[in-house]
Structures are given as structure tokens and as C-alpha cells.
Chains A and B, each alone.
Chain A
């Protein structure tokens, strides 16, 4: 189990990570979602002890990063962003090196390497130098390096970046598979990926956690905000008074031909198109357009990561509920 508490980190004047809290439980895959430069990599580096934050603590299975950094790193398999690997070494030697650093030696090491090569489908690449590998194979070697000591926790920084669709599906499958018994935190800037792979999504923007929840709850939050566009002609004040019972008018626009366009939003989960229609009929008005718009997860994500928004508050509450 990974626990990150109140991590804050500046680079010079720039606030990179602002009071970040994160928990990843055993058997859980958490997607760390945010646009580029949001602070995902910095947070992960702090968790590995590669960067020193100004405040905050990191605990992994009860090991404190400041008190037992070595013991903590034994618990974690880490895949750094862009998968830096020793280019000059053959894959097998790289795996042996990392294995020995995890105190796996001799027969046990060779057996484990065989196993890892099977899991990551690397059998054809074993004796090739890392420099000769394609992007997809590099990434698999990176994963092999991360899981060689069978760690209870995995921290993967953009594990699918630069891969083709088939490889992405393969890596996602590996993550899901491993996530059954491990605590996994993986970062991505692709919403779809976070939705498909994680049990829980944590959204970070400008160094702050802005939303947290299961993919379903975040999607529900998205569908919870419905908006409608209508074009109307007739008795405007009485229509507005009728509408105010169930929708809010966010925008009103007079059109050239005398019609008026309204943008309405509803916080109701249910479709209120029919109610809008009935309201128009009851005031004897005419309507030539009624377009219900459902905010997609994409839009919610954009909204969340754009900066300060009211959505932040509601989501956080929802996540806690």
C-alpha cells in the first residue's frame, strides 16, 4: 500500500507539486491523470526519493521514505518516464544487473529472468543490446526491470507513451494482470487510458489534485451536467419563469430573425428535454430547435485541468462520499 501525504515541491519559484495526497491500496490500479507538466512525474520522482520535496511524507507498506529509503525502494518497481536504460548492455545483462541489485543471485536469478522474459515476451531479444531495440521492446524491458524482484507496488510513469495501439493494449493487459495482487500507480495524459485501465482515477492539474474517483463516478459527474440549446419565439418572461423550475439559463442570444437562442443547464441526472418542450407549449410559444448536450468525460477533464473551477469542489466531495 502506497501512502503519499502532503507533498509540496518547488523548482526555483515554480510550484511543481502542491500539497498532493495519494493512496494506492493493494489490488488496486490507480490512474494518475493530468496534462503534460501537471506534476505527475515530479510526484512519482518524489515518491522514489529521486527528488526531495519541501514537505510531505511517503510510506510504502509501512516503510517511511525518509527513515528507510532502501527498504522502501525494495517494495517498489519503478518505470521512469521515457524508459532510460543502459544502451550498451545486452538485455540479459541489464536484467542480471538489476536482479543482483535486488539481492537475487545465482540459480534463483536465472530462473526469475526466464520467468520475466516469458511474462514480457522478450525471448527473441535476450542477447541484443538495449540500443538495438524498438520502442515497444524497450518499454517491455523497462517493465521487466521494474518487476524483476516481484515488488508489491509498481509506479509506472507513462508506461504506454510512444507505443502503437497493439502494444498499448498489451501493456494495459500486463498492468491489469499485475494489478490483481499489487498496488499500482501509473501516470498518463490520455483520459481513455485512465478510464480503461484503472480502478480509480486521480486527476492532477498544475501540481494539485483536482478530482478523484472511480472511472464510473467521474463519468457520472460528467453526465450529471447536462446542457440544452433551444431556439424560441414568443412570450419570453413567462417561459423563463417556467424554465427556472428545473434549468438555469446560462446564455441568451437574440437572433437576427427575431428568435432567441437560450443555453440551459440542468444539474438533474434525468433528461429534461420533454419538460422544456412542455414549458414552451404552455406559454404558447414556438420552438424550432432543441439540442440536448451531454458533457463528455473529455470535457470534464478539460474543465478540471483548465485551472480554478467550481467543479473541483464538487468532485472532491464526491470522491470522499
Chain B
């Protein structure tokens, strides 16, 4: 585990040594705050519901931007050869990199807390719902981060990793919407609805913490990381 954390530490160093993390955090905060306040005062209600309606869609574009470099860059520069010549197991590297990306996202989300404080100053939000929403956002993004890292492990090209990542995540976001289910045979409805990333979020957005939703996100995280280990095992050199 210490080796995995050392990998995270190195990845975080790279994120924060380069402008990536700062640009990401700033852009995320600007976009989310702006979109939130655009309608906040119109509704004349001290609630963060508007914010958590936007967040899944921002996640869709922003998370693949964090994860795209994780493996693709490694393969392109050939540094995976150096990495896997060290005494480390594949899963330790995969876990370490994932945790680093999760940390960047968690920091970003934590920096939106002043929004919650502002809303709290203006009125009486339901703090339980706000908490559930933050938890939901973290769970959703954990799953999306996992999908993103998996996609990144399959290519040497960061742009490809980003675009494919967005497409897959967008597909899973709208899987349960009528726009998709309309074209599916009835038998597939439950499956499409179950696979939908946003369906599992909506419960949490209402303030209901359902273990089935938590399990769903955990499954996505685990499955994608497991597949990443498999891919990485076969691509240790440039």
C-alpha cells in the first residue's frame, strides 16, 4: 500500500508541478459557479439543487481531462518501461494513479464548499440533502474517473483518451433517458436504466443514500480498475 501511495504522491507532484491541476481547478470552479449563480437568484430559494444538477454534466467533460494523461502519457514517453522495472505490482501502480486523480477531483469539489457556505448564509438549506449531494458527486466522479483511467490505459494518445472518455461517459449518463430507451427493445429497459450513471445520482441528489447506488458506483470503479490492470500488464513498454 505504501508503494501505491508513493505512486499517488508522484502523480500529484506532476499534477501540481505542471499547470494541469491549477487550470483544471480554476476552470471547474469558474464554470460551475457561473452556471449555478445564473439561475440561483431567480429561484429566490436557498438551495444547492441547481448546483448538483449541473455537476454531473461538468464532470462529464472535466474528469476525462484529468485522467487522459495518467496512462497515455506514460506509454507515449516510454516511462512505463522505467516504472515497471521497479519492484512494484501492477495493481499498486493502477491504484496509486487512480487515487491521485481522485485526490485532484476531491480537492476541486472541496473548493466548492464556500458555495454551500454562501447559500447557508443566505437562507436555510437542508444540510442533509447538501451532504448527500456532495457524497453523490464524489461517488459519481469516482466512477467516471475510473472509466477515464481505463480509457487512458488503452491508448498512447491523450486526445483520443479524452474524446473516447467523454463519449463513453456521455453514453452511460444518458443510458436511462428516453432518448436512448426509446430505441431499445423493452427487455433492455431495466439494464439501460441500471447502467445509467445519472439515474443512480438522482436518488442521492434528492438526499436519499441508497446502498444500491453506492454499490453500483463501487462496481464501476472496481471493474474499470480491474480492466486497467489487465491492459497495463500487456503494455509495459513503449
Contact = CB atoms under 8 A, between A and B. Distances in A.
State which size class the interface on B falls in.
Answer: 20 to 34
B13 A73 contact: no
Given A50-B237, A73-B86, A97-B10, A84 B79 contact: yes
Given A48-B85, A70-B87, A86 B10 contact: yes
Given A48-B85, A74-B87, A80-B82, A101 B17 contact: no
B6 A101 contact: yes
Given A86-B14, A87-B77, A89-B17, A50 B86 contact: no
Interface in A81-140: 82, 84-90, 93, 97-98, 100-103, 129
A80 B78 contact: yes
A49 B44 CA distance: 63
Contacts, number: 71
Contacts of B82: 78, 80, 84-85, 145
A82 B76 CA distance: 13
B96 to A, nearest CB: 10
Contact of A51 (B6, B88, B236): B236
B189 to A, nearest CB: 43
Q: Which residue, A85, A86, A145, has most C-beta atoms of chain B within 10 A?
A: A86
Contacts of A101: 3, 6, 86-88
Contact of B86 (A82, A84, A87, A98): A98
Given A50-B236, A89-B17, A101-B3, A78 B79 contact: no
B81 A84 contact: yes
Contacts of B85: 48, 50, 73, 76, 78, 80
Contacts of A86: 10, 14, 77, 79
A100 B87 contact: no
B237 A51 contact: yes
B89 interface: yes
B13 A45 contact: no
Contacts of A70: 87-89
A73 B87 contact: yes
Contact of A84 (B9, B13, B17, B78): B78
B84 interface: yes
A174 interface: no
A66 to B, nearest CB: 14
Given A49-B84, A89-B14, A102-B86, A82 B78 contact: yes
Contacts of A84: 77-79, 81-82, 238
A90 B10 CA distance: 11
A162 to B, nearest CB: 15
A50 B79 contact: no
Interface of A: 45, 48-51, 70-71, 73-74, 76, 78, 80, 82, 84-90, 93, 97-98, 100-103, 129, 145
Interface of B: 2-3, 6, 9-10, 13-14, 17-18, 77-79, 81-82, 84-89, 236-238
Given A50-B84, A101-B6, A102-B87, 20 more contacts: A48-B84, A50-B81, A51-B237, A71-B87, A78-B82, A78-B85, A80-B81, A84-B79, A84-B82, A84-B238, A86-B77, A88-B14, A89-B10, A89-B17, A90-B17, A93-B17, A97-B9, A101-B87, A101-B88, A102-B86
25 contacts: A45-B81, A50-B81, A50-B85, A50-B237, A73-B86, A74-B87, A84-B77, A84-B78, A84-B81, A84-B82, A86-B10, A88-B14, A88-B17, A89-B14, A89-B17, A90-B17, A93-B10, A93-B13, A97-B13, A100-B3, A101-B87, A102-B86, A102-B87, A129-B17, A145-B82
